[in-house]
Amino acid sequence: MKLDRRFRNGWLLTNSYTYAKARDYANDNGGPSTPIDPELSWGYSNFDRAHVYVSSFVWSLPWYKDPDAGALHWILGNWQVSGIFTYQSGQALDVTMSSSAALNTPGNTNRPNSSGEPVVIGDYGPGKYYFDPSTFSAPAANAFGSRTRNMGDLRGPRFTNLDFSLVKQFGLGGSRRGEFRVDVWNLPNTVHMNNPNTSFGNAQFGMVTGAYNERQMRFSFRFVF
């Protein structure tokens, strides 16, 4: 679903919402993780995100655009702000067994048993659980667990982000002009958490121990002729 306001009177606004579902047997980097029984590999795609919303805007500030405003025109005139806001729901998590698990089928990935719906606690950091690990248990030796790949009943942290730009434009005679820009990625410095550890038997199983995409800034000048 898309709702846009085309550029008019100095500003535009775009909005896009996608509700989607993607399922497959394998990731892009290989075949099914359980070739002995491909149905155990049928699940949500790694890139699947049920909800995606993106909104962008451009606003050419209307104040002191007339050169007759003198110093106010040069200081406060011809500024432009723009930004992109993104929201994405979490990815499906694939809970697998550690390499020490006993499974007499080389080249196949095993997964633990799970009892009921996994419980998402939502805590972050070492020693804190994003989901309750007690709902998972090891299968019998040389047997596959009850879980299948990317079941979708357990998803990682959502992604929320705002990028922002501030631009000052000024004429340099004729068709030439200059632009001074400040671009900020992740303006509010929102903490974007990695997915939790999903290797059953690992000491950090169920924990989120890292983050990414911290705030970054860039100052630049562009000459247009």
pLDDT in tens, 24-37: 999 877 889 999 99
Supply the pTM of this predicted model.
0.86
Residue 76, pLDDT > 90, answer no
pLDDT at residue number 140: 87
* pLDDT mean across residues, the chain: 92
Six token digits for residue 205: 């199983």
pLDDT at 157: 97
Nearest-CA neighbor of 54 among 18, 96, 85?
A: 85
58, containing H or E segment: strand 51-60
In the chain, the percentage of residues whose pLDDT exceeds 90 is: 75
Domain coordinates of the chain in residue numbers?
Answer: 2-224
Q: If you write DSSP's letter for every residue of 161-175 in order, what string do you get?
A: EEEEEEEEEEE-STT
Question: Which pairs from 100-103 meet CB under 8 Å and 24+ separation?
Answer: 100/201, 101/138, 101/200, 101/201, 102/141, 102/142, 103/142, 103/143, 103/144
Residue 142 has pLDDT above 90, yes or no: no
Query: Within its chain, how far is the Cα of 214 from the centroid?
Result: 13
Taking only the tens place, the pLDDT of each residue in 78-109 is 899 999 999 999 999 999 987 655 677 888 99
Q: Which residue has the higher pLDDT, 184 or 225?
A: 184
Structure tokens at 144: 């596959």
Beta carbons of 135 and 95 less than 8 angstroms apart: no
Residue 6 pLDDT greater than 60, yes or no: yes
Which pLDDT score, from 0 to 100, does residue 101 have? 52
Could you read off the pLDDT of 24-75 as tens digits, one per residue? 999 877 889 999 999 999 999 999 999 999 999 999 999 877 777 778 777 8
Question: What is residue 102's predicted lDDT score, i.e. its pLDDT?
Answer: 66
Going from the C-alpha of 16 to that of each of 185, 194, 206, the distances in angstroms are 20, 25, 33
> Residue 193 and residue 128: Cα distance in Å, rounded?
13
